[in-house]
Chains A and B, each alone.
Chain A
Amino acid sequence: MNEPLFSLKNRWFTMSIGAVVLIMLLAAAFAFLWLPRAHARDAAASIWESICSAAGVPARYQNAALPDEKAVYPSSVIISSEMAGPVDTASVGRGATLALQCSMCHGARGTASAGTDAPHLAGQPPSSTYKQLRDFKSGHRPSSVMQPLATNLSDQDMHDLAAFYSLETRETLVQHAALRPQTPRLVSNGSPMRNVGACASCHSPGVARAATPILDGLPEAYLREQLNAFKSGRRANDINQQMRNAAHQLSNDEIDILAKYYAIR
């Protein structure tokens, strides 16, 4: 009767707490790990995302206009290697005309003037520009500026614009070789222990992957904003979450280094 209650020697204490904690852990494992992943929709999500969705963390913004079945996917564009093929010259002419309405931000020939944070389009692979335009229009990539502008573009218009910009050349300052920045390890090697691939394995002019932009010379603020948006999940039009998975692991300092590195290239 005089035995202490809250003591590891008291079997009632250890057994009751142990049993409740065990039930709790089993139930929580079912609730937050197994059940959400058993849903086909969440099967590709990371464990952390499963836990968040089961706990009721508000999901990222979803365009209300997006039909349900499309909202499930990060993009409505199907990427294929054919997209990387040569462009049609008739397309380029039409694109040049359409591009007149883009020049305010993206520059007369696809190089945004200094001081704007809009990305350069000159020299970007056509599949990359095309996919972003499609995602703006469908709402997969939310943007209060680009969405209204893309709404009235037809599929052909988007192909034309992308073709035009791909043949333009980005205007750059002549750089002395000595001023070239040292390549960060993240760019050349990634961080394998954290499951972050090397940036350069996709974002290099020589790689020529479909729907993958060239980052060289993009405005620093734009790069930082996009990495942060991928990191927080605000931007989620990357297929198979490849950018979100990589950016999720990056620290703010690393994002800063990467943005600076690509901006001055």
Chain B
Amino acid sequence: MFSNDTKRLVLFHFWIAFIAFFVALILGEWQMVVRSPLYDWIGSPELYYRSVTAHGSAMGYVFPTLVAMGFGYAIVELSLKQSLIGKRWAWAGFILVVLGTVVAMVPVAMGRASVLYTFYPPLIGHAAYYIGVVLVVVGSWIWVALMSVNMRAWKKAHPGEAVPLPMFANVAGAYLWAWTSVGAAVEILFLILPVALGFKSTIDAGLSRVFFSWTLHAIVYFWLMPAYIAFYTLVPRAIGGRLYSDVMGRISFVLFLVFSMPIGIHHLFQDPQVGAGVKFLHAVFTAMVSVPTLLTIFTITASVEIAGRLRGGTGALGWVKKLPWHNPMMLAVAFSFILLGFGGAGGLINMSYQLDFAVHNTQWITGHFHLIFAGAIVIMYFAVAYDLWPHLTGRTLAQGSMMKAQLWLWFVGMIILTFPWHVVGVMGMPRRMAYFDYTNPEIAPQAITVIISAIGGLLLVISGLLFVLVLLRGHRSRVIELSEFHFSQPVHVAGRLPVALNSFGLWLALMIGLSIVNYGYPISQLVGLKQTSVPAVPVGGAP
């Protein structure tokens, strides 16, 4: 059950996502080079921030959103084995996302909105940039609604049956995104746009930052969802194993739903407008996210071990050698876990109030989120694309060695890019800096690390190019007759599930309740405080 028009829909999502990704990747490497001692200064910091804004907006808003949407539509048909309901709406959502991307990128390209993808009020860019971002988000909300509608339709047709894990996880991701995007939407619609459109000249920067933190951390778990869905439902099948526990998967996804939201204020540890107790509360719940993460690491490692033992591996670690290391999915999941391990360890440091003091707003943070998102998550996006591509194109995707080279390059490149960032962050190099004078004896020792990072970035560009090439060649290779697509089978098939693990009501209630408890006071207090607005700082001429 994978209709041709749905395949087209998914392919369009994936291609626009990967084009946005590739352009943003090149920009990222350009930033690395011009900031390094390898290149004489570009002369204008504005150009640099223009590039950072485009890189962040494309990588943060466009690329993962489109991957999640496309993957979600594919999951509906592949796992529920029913025709996607609301295809016209799905196209409308896609068009909104693409339109939003164009509307946002034009002012960015013109240098009228170099505010970075995190907006940073009181900086105010051209209104079209924010309107474009809102269009992208609204387009993705259509997807959220469609995921919900399709799951309901399936449940109605299959009363009492367990929703297949891929769809269950997919809907969890959709609901998570719906709720987390509210923060940035409120910030743009009620705080930024009135200023960008010229109705106001001051903005409450502190309140804006609190609203953005609502979105800023949980958005990462939304990016993470397709990768986690791939861990649970693609990896065990692709490497010839079984999913260790289907129920554990469901518990992990609902825990993400509950705990990813009420934690964003750890991004504001150094902000004065939020109380220390509230920050501590958010730090505690940030730590709680390690629970579903560790559950996943355990379950997936156990599933991989099953594959190793089924292939004849014995002993405590003998099964590792027997794993199908030639398989791109095996490589991807191994690399993803290693990068997640390093990124997660850094994350534990960031979420600790005191340790964060040492690294806040340094290159360390840039290193951290590149390890998690660009490393652990994006490498699984590659794997998802490789896995789905033959089913989308009906053609073979035979470039095995090219895929492996691509994944290896991405893994090695990401380590070479981010490890020096961590080091130089601890040395005190701030992030979001367009220019460093390496002749200054105080920062001269940092020069070498920036060169190493730029080399890592170059490997990533080569890897990205290989990725696009593999997919392009997949459109021209020979047509094959594929067996039906199926997801991983669990060791024990979940026959009957408790209603709590087959629906979202309880978890959505907890998610909203916890968000209100953890954000209610800081937001209502900041809304109520008088005279907290500051003059807006227009970027790139009059807003």
Measuring CB to CB, which residues of chain A are less than 8 angstroms from any residue of chain B? 1-6, 10, 12-13, 16-17, 20, 23-24, 27-28, 30-32, 35-36, 51, 53-58
Give A50 Cβ to nearest chain B Cβ, in Å.
9
13 further contact pairs, Cβ within 8 A, besides A24-B514, A28-B277, A56-B278:
A3-B498, A5-B499, A5-B500, A5-B505, A12-B498, A17-B506, A20-B510, A27-B284, A31-B278, A31-B284, A54-B276, A56-B275, A56-B521
B503: chain A residues within 8 A (beta carbon): 5
Taken together as a complex, chains A and B put the C-alpha atoms of A53 and B279 apart, in Å, by: 12
Give B285 Cβ to nearest chain A Cβ, in Å.
7
Which DSSP category, helix, strand, loop or mixed, fits chain B's interface? helix
Q: Is there an interface contact between B500 and A13, defined as CB atoms closer than 8 Å? A: yes
Q: Does B273 contact A (CB under 8 A)?
A: yes
16 A–B pairs (Cβ distance < 8 Å), ordered by A: A2-B160, A3-B498, A4-B499, A5-B500, A6-B509, A12-B501, A12-B506, A13-B500, A35-B276, A36-B277, A53-B275, A54-B275, A54-B276, A55-B525, A56-B277, A56-B521
A3: chain B residues within 8 A (beta carbon): 498-499
| Chain B interface size range | 20 to 34
A2: chain B residues within 8 A (beta carbon): 160, 499
A36: chain B residues within 8 A (beta carbon): 276-277
Q: Does B522 contact A (CB under 8 A)?
A: yes
Chain B minimum-CB-distance residue to A20? B510
Interface residues of B in 478-508 (CB under 8 A from A): 496-503, 505-507
Taken together as a complex, chains A and B put the C-alpha atoms of A57 and B160 apart, in Å, by: 50
Q: Is there an interface contact between B160 and A10, defined as CB atoms closer than 8 Å? A: no
Q: Is there an interface contact between B160 and A1, defined as CB atoms closer than 8 Å? A: yes
B509: chain A residues within 8 A (beta carbon): 6
Instruction: Name the residue among A3, A27, A36 with the largest chain B CB count within 10 angstroms.
Output: A27
Q: Is there an interface contact between B522 and A56, defined as CB atoms closer than 8 Å? A: yes
Q: Does B529 contact A (CB under 8 A)?
A: yes
Q: Is there an interface contact between A54 and B278, defined as CB atoms closer than 8 Å? A: yes
B521: chain A residues within 8 A (beta carbon): 55-56
* Contact partner, A35, options B277, B505, B510, B525, Cβ 8 Å: B277
A10: chain B residues within 8 A (beta carbon): 498-500
Q: Does B102 contact A (CB under 8 A)?
A: no
B499: chain A residues within 8 A (beta carbon): 1-5, 10, 12
Q: Does B274 contact A (CB under 8 A)?
A: yes
Q: Does B517 contact A (CB under 8 A)?
A: yes
Give B78 Cβ to nearest chain A Cβ, in Å.
24
Given A5-B500, A56-B525, A57-B525, also A16-B278 (CB < 8 A): no
Chain A minimum-CB-distance residue to B279? A31
B258: chain A residues within 8 A (beta carbon): 20
Q: Is there an interface contact between A55 and B288, defined as CB atoms closer than 8 Å? A: no
Give A243 Cβ to nearest chain B Cβ, in Å.
26
Taken together as a complex, chains A and B put the C-alpha atoms of A24 and B515 apart, in Å, by: 11
Q: Is there an interface contact between B500 and A32, defined as CB atoms closer than 8 Å? A: no
Chain B minimum-CB-distance residue to A17? B510
* Contact partner, B517, options A24, A35, A53, A56, Cβ 8 Å: A24
Instruction: Name the residue among B277, B506, B507, B514 with the largest chain A CB count within 10 angstroms.
Output: B277
Taken together as a complex, chains A and B put the C-alpha atoms of A16 and B273 apart, in Å, by: 32
Give A157 Cβ to nearest chain B Cβ, in Å.
37
Taken together as a complex, chains A and B put the C-alpha atoms of A239 and B149 apart, in Å, by: 64
**Leading 7 A-B pairs by shortest Cβ distance:** A56-B275, A54-B277, A12-B500, A31-B280, A31-B277, A27-B284, A32-B277
